[in-house]
Chain A
Amino acid sequence: MNDKKLSLRNNKKVLFGIFEDGDSALEATQTVFNRGVNIIDCYSPYPIHGMEKAMGLKRSRLPIGAFVCAMTGLSLAIILQAGIMYFDWPMIIGGKPYAGIPSWIPVMFELSILCTAFGIAILFFARSGMIHGKIANEIIDPRQTSDRIVLAMSLDEAGINTDELVKLLSDKGAVEIRQRVNLDNNEFEDNVIK
């Protein structure tokens, strides 16, 4: 997976460009992406529209998961209702047929929705590696969830030298630039460049 290779940990040297607003962060991302720099991620307090394209991300496949969940819910509802009303304990209620399919539709619908909602939420958490109580390791700047946008780039195989990249980022409006060197013992060193 592309995601796995490009994490903050798996790169020796990482450069962070910190921005104050979404528009300049987006422009900077587009520019460095076009220059062939590997973008690890961009952390922002709100979804910046167009950022996923600028980073070259693909559309999520979660909708397929949602569809599978919906079908699971639907099948569950059919099995449940047919099992009870037709196979296990058939009873005549108000002269209706045992398999009164039209009156099963509301529950089929509700269970499809229920399974989709819970399924998609669980898939989303699993795919994003989110769980209750997890420590957020990738907080570069505590303000990245409030009013700063952090662009993280790998310097390992960048087709551009660091000084040029730093200059490019400051031109695009980065208010702070930091370099991180990952050490072997699972620790790292941050240096503020600008």
Chain B
Amino acid sequence: MSHNITTIRPRLVTKDKSLADVSNEICRPIENKPSTTWKIGFTLAVIFFGLLAFTLALTTLVGIGTWGLNKSVQWGWDITNFVWWIGIGHAGTLISAILLLFRQKWRMSINRSAEAMTIFAVLCAALFPLFHMGRVWVGAYWVFPLPNAFGSLWVNFNSPLLWDVFAVSTYFSVSLVFWYLGLIPDIATIRDRATTKGRKFWYNFFSMGWTGSTRTWNRYEVVSLILAGISTPLVLSVHTIVSFDFATSVVPGWHTTIFPPYFVAGAIFSGFGMVCTLLIIARKVLNYEDYITIGHLEAMAKVLMLTGTLVGLAYITEFFVAAYSGVEYEQYAFLNRATGPYWWAYWSMMTCNLVAPQFFWMKWARTTPWFIFFLSIVVNVGMWFERFVIIVTSLHREYLPSGWALYSPTWVEIGIYLGTFGMFFTFFFLFAKFLPVINMAEIKTILKDSE
């Protein structure tokens, strides 16, 4: 075979790993007792998960009145958090699907954990609208197209909120299928290395009899490509539809055509922020610095810079369009965002999302893990503020000044939000303990320069 060896690009996996090294190093956390760091982290996560259970129980038993929402601001922290978590999820699909279509091989070290992040983030997101419906026990089935005999009328397919139900549930299930399919070869690897009875049984159960046959690989690659092909428009559609929840209304500040691309760029931005946050910790704690190299971090930093700037451009465009539209209500909505009672949220959003990522023009900033980590947190905070600004500052002063009101969350709402972090990290810690954090089969294809 002829090999095309490129010397321009740095290698994706450093230190000349052999196939066996990859299996040994990536299976290490699964085959050994959990480390102290893992135990501490997991315990903390479970405590916060408990907080989620408590605050949600309170919301259900006492009612939605435990939240700080009022007649004007009917959507507050809950929908902010919903959009924020959904957005976080988008990076996983972007990395595994869009970068697969573009044949970007640096995705291979990070796609597994990013997809896991997607699934857990969507689970966290789904809680918010579900519990906001108040009576969860009926809300859980009211969203489905059930006949009128069930007590409510048929669902309304003209409503973007219903499209959202379909979009988010499709997104969750398709991501799960994609993730699981990618896991099967690696689960088989663990199965064949397993030494204990329990591990042999469970990994055998989930490996579905995988042998690594070329006939199966041949089909497997076709299936991966199809799933990537359909996930790409899917991921764009999900945040587009989330943006329709706002854009199809007549609320000043929401009623804009720029919302779909603006939300998708923001979703990718916040998702990459979270991927950086998680992976910079994971590569250190699990000792995966040869797999998730500075090169990977730099590539993600570049994506952050690009999408951050896109989001910033959208903020400015929105402002301009409002001014240019000649509609007083629109103009006031934007002026109120920047100078009204919630000015601090607006300017936090601007600083964190538009200004902060500009540091990544410098090579030093893109290649220094602690700095990327710091900025990734800033990005996550900024994107949370973006949703808060869009939702709360638009609702609190609508058309009639008699309906104007201020909103601040109660401790229950804050507890639910912190609790979803507990849930997210509980799942993430379990994932890091029981499943390979890096896709071994894919990494093995890029060990040699010939690939």
Chain A residues within CB distance 8 Å of chain B: 3, 20-23, 26-27, 41-52, 55, 57, 59-60, 62-63, 66, 70, 80-81, 84-85, 88-89, 91, 93-94, 96, 100, 103-104, 106-107, 109-111, 113-114, 116-118, 120-121, 124-125, 127-139, 142-147
Shortest Cβ distance from A36 into chain B, in angstroms? 19
The distance from the CB of B1 to the nearest CB of chain A, in whole angstroms, is 6
Contact A132 B206 (CB under 8 A): yes
The residues of A that contact B170 with a CB separation of less than 8 Å are: 110-111, 113-114
- Asked if B343 is an interface residue, CB under 8 A from chain A, the answer is no
With A23-B448, A130-B208, A132-B206: A107-B226 Cβ-Cβ less than 8 Å: no
Q: Across the interface, do A93 and B156 meet the contact criterion of CB distance under 8 Å? A: yes
Q: Does B181 contact A (CB under 8 A)?
A: yes
- The residues of B that contact A129 with a CB separation of less than 8 Å are 209
Taking a contact as CB atoms closer than 8 A, the residue among B204, B212, B440, B441 that contacts A144 in the complex is: B212
Q: Are A94 and B158 in contact (CB under 8 A)?
A: yes
Rounded to whole Å, the gap between the CB of A130 and the closest CB of chain B is 4
Q: Which residue of B lies closest to A114 (CB)?
A: B170
Complex A-B, nearest 6 residue pairs according to Cβ-Cβ distance, in ascending order: A134-B209, A147-B19, A46-B444, A130-B208, A106-B163, A147-B20
Docked-complex contact B234 and A113, CB < 8 angstroms:
yes
B133 at the interface (CB under 8 A from A): no
| A89-B445 contact, Cβ under 8 Å, with A42-B214, A117-B230, A133-B204 | no
Residues of A within 8 A of B18 (CB): 147
Q: Are B226 and A116 neighbours in the complex by a CB distance under 8 Å?
A: yes
With known contacts A62-B223, A136-B188, A145–B212 Cβ distance under 8 A: yes
Q: Give chain A residues whose Cβ lies under 8 Å from the Cβ of B226.
A: 62-63, 66, 116, 120
Q: Determine whether the beta carbon of A47 is less than 8 Å from that of B157.
A: no
Q: Tell me which of B219, B221, B230, B441 has the highest count of chain A C-beta atoms within 10 A of its own C-beta.
A: B219
In the complex, what distance in Å separates the CA atom of A109 from the CA atom of B442?
30
Given contacts A94-B158, A130-B210, A136-B210, contact A146 B189 (CB under 8 A): yes
- Min Cβ gap A132→B in Å is 6
A45 touches B189 (CB 8 A): yes
User: B105 on the interface (CB 8 Å rule)?
Assistant: no
Q: Is the CB of A127 within 8 A of B208?
A: no
Asked if A100 meets B444 with Cβ closer than 8 Å, knowing A62-B223, A128-B216, A147-B23, the reply is no
Give the shortest distance, in Å, between B55 (CB) and chain A (any CB).
31
Q: A80-B145, A145-B185 are in contact. Are A62 and B441 (CB under 8 A)?
A: no
Q: What residues on B are CB-neighbors of A60 within 8 Å? A: 218-219, 222
Q: Chain B interface mostly helix, strand, loop or mixed?
A: helix
Contact flags (1/0) for B189-218 with A, using CB distance below 8 Å? 101110000000000111111111111111
CB distance from A124 to the nearest CB of B (A): 5
Pick from A26, A134, A135, A146: contact of B1, CB under 8 Å: A26
Minimum CB distance partner of A89 in chain B: B154
Chain B residues, Cβ within 8 Å of A134: 208-209
B111 to chain A, nearest CB (A): 15
Interface extent on B, as a size class? Answer: 35 or more
Q: Contact: A47 with B217, CB < 8 Å?
A: yes
Known contacts A57-B215, A145-B188: does B223 contact A121 (CB below 8 Å)?
yes
Given contacts A84-B157, A121-B177, contact A27 B1 (CB under 8 A): yes
A-B contact pairs, 27 of them (CB 8 A): A44-B212, A45-B185, A46-B19, A47-B218, A47-B441, A59-B222, A60-B219, A62-B223, A63-B226, A84-B155, A85-B154, A93-B156, A93-B158, A94-B158, A106-B160, A114-B173, A116-B226, A118-B177, A121-B223, A130-B184, A133-B208, A136-B191, A136-B210, A136-B211, A145-B210, A146-B20, A147-B18
Q: A85 near B221 (CB under 8 angstroms)?
A: no
Partner of B148, one of A80, A89, A124: A89
CA distance A59 to B20 in the complex (A): 30
Knowing A113-B230, A147-B20 are in contact, say whether A106-B208 is a contact too (CB < 8 A).
Answer: no
- Bound-state Cα–Cα, A144 to B181, Å: 19
Report B-chain residues with C-beta under 8 Å of the C-beta of A66: 226
For B214, give its contact among A20, A51, A109 (CB under 8 Å): A51
Q: Measured between C-beta atoms, what is the minimum distance from A19 to chain B in Å? A: 11
Contacts of B163 in A (CB 8 A): 106-107, 110
- Among B155, B208, B233, B440, the residue within 8 A (CB) of A125 is B208
User: Chain B residues near A130 (CB, 8 Å)?
Assistant: 184, 208-210, 216
Task: Give chain B nearest CB distance to A6 CB in angstroms.
Answer: 10
Contact among B177, B211, B244, B451 with A145 in the assembled complex (CB-CB below 8 Å)? B211
CB-defined contacts of A94 to chain B, threshold 8 Å:
158
| Chain B residues in 8 Å Cβ range of A44 | 212, 214, 217
Known: A111-B170, A138-B213, A146-B23. A85 touches B157 (CB 8 A): yes
Q: Are A43 and B173 in contact (CB under 8 A)?
A: no
User: Please, which residues of chain A bring their CB within 8 A of the CB of B223?
Assistant: 62, 120-121, 124
Query: Which residues of B are found within 8 Å of A81, using beta-carbon distances?
Result: 157
Residues of A within 8 Å of B174, CB to CB, are 113-114, 117
B220 is an interface residue with CB less than 8 A from chain A? yes
Bound Cα distance A44, B209 (Å): 14
Contacts of B444 in A (CB 8 A): 45-46
Q: B241 contacts which of A47, A106, A114, A118 (Cβ < 8 Å)?
A: A106
Indicate if the CB atoms of A23 and B1 lie closer than 8 Å. Answer: yes
**Residues of A contacting B155 with CB < 8 Å?**
84
In the assembled complex, which residues on chain B have CB atoms less than 8 Å from the CB atom of A84?
145, 154-155, 157
Is the pair A146, B208 in contact by a Cβ cutoff of 8 Å?
Answer: no
- Picked from B231, B237, B451, the residue with its CB within 8 Å of the CB of A49 is B451
Residue B365 at the chain A interface, CB threshold 8 Å: no
Q: Smallest CB–CB gap between B206 and chain A, Å? A: 7
Determine the chain B residues whose CB is within 8 A of the CB of A118 once the complex forms: 173, 177
Type the 1/0 row for B146-175, where 1 means its CB is closer than 8 Å to any CB of A. Answer: 011000011111101011001100100110
